[in-house]
Structure 1
Amino acid sequence: MTAAALAKEPDLPPPPRVRRRGVPGVALLRSTHGLQRITLIFGLILIAAFVIAAVFAPLIAPYGFAQSSADGVDFARQQAPSAEHWFGTSVRGEDVLSRVIFGARTALLVIALSLVLSLIIGVPLGLLSGYIGRWIDRVLVLFMDAMYAFPSLLLAIVVSIVVAGGNSSAFGGVLSAAVAITAVFVPQYFRVVRNATVAVKQEPYVDAARVTGASTIRIMFKHILANVTASLPVIITLNGAEAILTLAGLGFLGFGIEPTSAAEWGYDLNKALADVSNGIWWTGVFPGVAIVLVVLGMTLVGESLNEVFNPILRTRRAVQ
């Protein structure tokens, strides 16, 4: 199940909040069984390797992401994998391993920025629309549905062009890419939070808060917010995978991050197209494998979390 599919779920009441004792990670693993636990652990390992590579990229990478020489000697262009260059070199003489590692840092930064911006924008708007209703709800729903109707990559391209002013190097390229991906995610968070807010705003505890004279802001963010965000961890994890693919798509099509500003896997795949016909496989395989592994890890964790937090799936598994 994708994040977009979760955003389309009907207005069902959220599951009751369950207090977990002990270390959250251990409690999460204990709530899984069999193949589900294996996929969760494997996904967490892939994500951990991705985060470690991103955070410690300057220490792990043998060279800089745009470095094409060392000790005054230029690297051989399109050199096959060797002891000196484990993943070979690109057509520009850059070390492919270094670009793959620094590409993880770029991807992590864009994912973090886009998800934080999406939550900051989408969650409050969903609360406001679901709780206030009336014309505010109609306007916001119409606007979000219009954004949701666009294909995600097309919407990201349009926003990227608008934000960067036609120049992908604006804002260092990273911020413009993050904003472009944010535009894809905001409608999803808005719809999930709005639907859950509509379902719970007539609950007794909300009515009690109104009777005691609590303000609208206090009711939304103290009494409702904690009870409508149960599915957000799942959506965040799945959106992380979608952000990787969208960023790679932007870079592949030439609307991503300027190569002199940061390493980016999609851009490297684009430049590797001409190498395939010449039998030079390493310039495209390694960035592609990095994308596949990171997306796989986030998808496995997202699906496992969905089974843990979704009471319907949990009940079905218990019956089986």
Structure 2
Amino acid sequence: MFQIIGIVLLFVCVFGVYIVHGGRMDVVIAAAPFELATIFGAGIAALLIGNSPTVIKGVASGMGKIFSGPQWKASDYKDLLSLLFLLTKTMKAKGVIALESHIENPHDSTLFGRFPKIVKDHFAVDFICDTLRMMTMNLEDPHQVEDAMEKQLEKHHHEALAPAHALQNMADALPALGIVAAVLGVIKTMGSITEPPAVLGGMIGSALVGTFLGVFLAYGLVGPFATRLNAVVEEESSFYRIIQSVLVAHLHGNAAQISVEIGRGSVPSMTQPTFSELEEALQAIPPEA
């Protein structure tokens, strides 16, 4: 919502003030389609040249995140803590062997099945199951498990940030591509140097539209989009940090309730459930679970 308001305000402040100040839009409107095709087209081409298909797909899907925000909402954090509570409580009561059927087939698990949104996140499920699998292989040193989880998180976070970095690189290139479009316009103008001043003025104005659009797109749209996408990815990474916090706390010998409380402290403040809200969520889990 705020992104849409920001875009509207951006155009009002830039073009509205220009018009109020006596600027003529006819030159801008006439030149904009050609300049945009040159600048934005070249920017997309550079994006395709410099990145892998996976990163390019991430940029495309990331555009939705820019407007919708992080995929994890407050209820999802409570669900994650509830799932981890069930897993750690089962380990405490019955041992890690009791979890083998759940971690080998999480999509058929009665524990994981209670939280369908989490199950749809392949990394979250694999991250939980791989860590529990290490525990079943008697890797119970909390520090070794924490190091292994940290490496997985770093790799995933690096890959998740790649689309935001690619978008920022595109934003950095747009002002220079605007100059390229402007230089081409000047070359065209110099080829018509015998034309009257009024015609030459219009041609020079069209060329300068290229420089304007390059800077405008870079700092007004694409750059802020990259910043927003980076912030969304950073917030989403907190979801996986909670998994690490809870499972490592469990390995340190804490009770399931204490472990999830430690994990609750890692939830972003805007979506963090209170102690009472988490307590209610845990008490709402059916006894047969």
TM bucket normalised to smaller? 0.3 to 0.5
**TM-score, normalised on structure 1?**
0.30
Query: Structure 2-normalised TM-score?
Result: 0.33
Q: Decide which structure has greater helix share.
A: 2
